[in-house]
Amino acid sequence: MKQMSNPKLNLRKKNWLRSVEHCHRLLACLSHHSILRHSS
C-alpha cells in the first residue's frame, strides 16, 4: 500500500485541509460579528 506516497492524493488532502481551515476562519468571523452586533 503506497497511497501515502501518492502526490495527487497528498495534494488533495492539503487542499481539503486548507478549505476546512478557511471555513473555520469564516465561521469564527461570522460568530464574532454576530456577537458584536448583539452587544451593541
**What pLDDT digit, counting tens, does each position of 1-40 carry?**
565 678 898 999 999 999 999 999 999 999 988 887 777 6
Q: What pLDDT does residue 31 have?
A: 92
pLDDT of 6 reads 83
> Cell numbers 461570522 correspond to what residue?
30
- The x, y and z cell numbers of residue 32, run together, are 464574532
Check: CB of residue 3 under 8 Å from CB of residue 9.
yes
Please give the model's pTM, rounded to 2 decimal places.
0.58
pLDDT in the model for residue 11: 92
CA distance 8 to 19: 16
pLDDT at 12: 93
Q: Where are the alpha helices (DSSP H) in the chain?
A: 7-39
Task: Supply the pLDDT for residue 35.
Answer: 80
